[in-house]
Amino acid sequence: MEALAQRCETSGEHAHLGIPGGLELTRLMDAASGNPFQRITDIYWSVSPAALRGLADQVRTTVVELVAELRAAMPDDQQIPTPDQMEHALHVVVHGDRARVNVNAAQTSGSGSSNVGQAAADEDPFWSHGRRIGAAVVGLATLIGTGAALWPLLGK
């Protein structure tokens, strides 16, 4: 991914990533147009080098978090994580099942006390801020790509 980003930066162009079912979609669009002289050859996402580098950074960060979670779960004398430790690390890092703990310290004049709140479960951990932004970018890119592909058909 980084090599692709480097090539795109060097050439000053965006990367063209094919979409799933792109060949079938081009055939369907050609058939729907009714124009025998028109042939759509490719449908793709145009991705900037900065987006590719950002994606590579997210993958790298997730791998580092996964390794850190595994190392924290494993005893010092253990070399290979157990399947349970691996499953837990994946749930924490990939799925975002991090426990949230709220600590409220009460100020009293007599004996000190503190209250530990329960884990906050007020929002779904899957849709983190980063995933919402990523979903919006992918959705917008899909809409732009579809609009650009359909533009010649709508111009009639």
Extents of the domains making up the chain = 2-154
**Predicted TM-score of the model (pTM):** 0.49
Q: Rounded to an integer, what distance in angstroms lies between the CA atom of residue 20 and that of residue 39?
A: 19
Q: How confident is the model at residue 11 (pLDDT cuts 50, 70, 90)?
A: very high
Look at residue 104 and tell me whether its pLDDT is greater than 60.
Answer: no
Average pLDDT of every residue of the chain: 76
State the pLDDT at residue 113.
46
